[in-house]
Amino acid sequence: MRLEVEPAGYTRAADPLRDAGQWVEQTLDNLRAALASSAAMAGTDSGGQGFATSYDVAAGSAAGAGAGLATSFHRLSALVATAAHNHGAAEAASRRGGGTAPPPPSGAGARVTAFSPPSAMGGSGESPDWWHYVLDHAEGLVWPNADTGELRSAGQAWQDAARSLMTVTGQCDEAVALLGAQRTPEAPHAQAAVRRLGDLVGQLSRQYSSLGQACARYADHVDSAREQSTHIMEGVLAGLAITAVVGIGLTLVTFGGSDAAAAAAASAEVAAGAEEVAGVLTVCAEAAGEGAAVAGDVATTAVDIKSGLAPFEAAEPELAEVTAVEGTEGGADGATTGPRQVFRADTRDPETIFRDGFQPKGSNTDLTEHVTMNPANSNFVSTTHSMESAENFAGQIRSDYIYQAQAEGIDVNATLGESSPFPWENEIAVPGGIPGEAVEGVWGPEGWIPNPAYLP
């Protein structure tokens, strides 16, 4: 079982995660500034109030999830940086004569506080001059007085933030690649955590985009309703002017009898126009309801995303306590075991291993260098007495094979005691390698395959 760790590689992996957290923070700062003038933008009509109610919840939840995302990147960066320190400290402690451990990372990762977007509840602007004609025939209607300019600006702000968030997926990919170069038990878990965080970035970006689109579409519906209503009533009022002229002419003939008829006709025209305007505004209110539904979905999803971020936000990096190794640096002396069953995960095929066994890379018999630094000239072959440890390592190197052998080796944990840097490996370091005839067989995708050349 061999660990290949470059503490500086862990440090480099922490850097893009830190940068991602800072980028998300800047994105939120830009969003807050862009939304500063968006108060009371939805209107005081029933549709506007419904839209504002849902938008306010969605905006607050989305901003909160954004703050959680920034915090999560900072925390994950601190965890990776702490892993770099712990591995570096273990390496320094294992060197002959001791060594200097790298300084621990500062802080546990900044916690970012969410901002509160302005409420969209309220409206601005006056109703048109002809609006009282409509109210005379359609009581209860409220002119849609949303600030469509601010709605569109708010929509653009959310869309810009959505695009900005997606930028950090590149940092996630970089961190995953750097972590992939480390062969340690925690590296695959760290990669999975970064990938999960990247998935949440994409989810939150889509919610920001949806909320921005809802604002823009609602603004379009309000402007369309105003334009249609104005066109209808201006047509009605133009018709009233013609009716008035005709009525005056008829008065000369009917001695005033036509005045009542003209007034009745005018009232009917206004009533018909008001009814048509009411229909247009009903459609606008329905569109506001659709926007409110979208905002409601955004709010629900943002809460789910925030829940998904909770484990990252709660993570606390821990510095390992490392004790320098004493008296075991000078060679292969240690707690040597007699022949025993050992396991080793390996990507090579059974035919090769059954024939050649496991050969060492060189003649270096310094045990502590082998355990902590994996030198290219090590005389040891790493195995483990634990099948579980072998299975874990097989997953890390994506191997389908776990070989079982009889070998005489050094029990690393028994030799180094509390100074064993990776006790969960349960390593048996076998000097000089393991010949093919000492390999009992292999556990593979199809189960147990015995080695026909095995010599008990």
Q: How confident is the model at residue 126 (pLDDT cuts 50, 70, 90)?
A: confident
- Could you write out the three-class secondary structure of 136-189? HHCCCCCCCCCCHHHHHHHHHHHHHHHHHHHCCHHHHHHHHHHHHCCECCCHHH
Q: How confident is the model at residue 120, as a pLDDT?
A: 98
Q: Average per-residue pLDDT in the chain?
A: 85
Q: With left for phi above 0 and alpha for psi between -120 and 50, is residue 107 left, alpha or beta? A: left
Distance (Å, rounded) from C-alpha 310 to C-alpha 399? Answer: 33
CATH code matching the domain that covers 340-450, chosen among 3.90.210.10, 3.60.21.10, 2.70.70.10, 3.30.230.10: 3.90.210.10
The residue with tokens 């009814």 is 275
Tell which wins on pLDDT, 360 or 86. 360
Question: Would you state the structure tokens that stand for residue 268, as one six-digit string?
Answer: 């009917």
Tell which wins on pLDDT, 8 or 39. 39
**Span of 29-43, 279-293, 328-342 with lowest mean pLDDT:** 328-342
- pTM (predicted TM-score): 0.67
Distance (Å, rounded) from C-alpha 272 to C-alpha 274? Answer: 5
Q: How confident is the model at residue 93 (pLDDT cuts 50, 70, 90)?
A: low
Residue 247 has pLDDT above 60, yes or no: no
Residue ranges of the chain assigned to CATH 3.90.210.10: 340-450
Q: How confident is the model at residue 265, as a pLDDT?
A: 55
* CA 95 and chain centroid, separation: 40
Residue 296 φ/ψ, nearest 5 degrees = -60, -40
**Span of 165-179, 186-200, 234-248 with lowest mean pLDDT:** 234-248
Q: How confident is the model at residue 173, as a pLDDT?
A: 94
Residue 313 has pLDDT above 80, yes or no: yes
Distance (Å, rounded) from C-alpha 311 to C-alpha 319? Answer: 19
DSSP 358: B
The residue with tokens 């968006």 is 38
Q: pLDDT tens digits for 395-407?
A: 888 899 999 999 9
Distance (Å, rounded) from C-alpha 254 to C-alpha 300? Answer: 69
- Other CB atoms within 10 Å distance of the CB of residue 244: 12
| Inter-CA distances, 425 with 35, 386, 409, 434, Å | 53, 8, 15, 19
Distance (Å, rounded) from C-alpha 198 to C-alpha 16? Answer: 12
Q: pLDDT tens digits for 250-268?
A: 444 444 444 554 455 567 8
Residue 170 has pLDDT above 60, yes or no: yes
Single-letter code of the amino acid located at 7: P
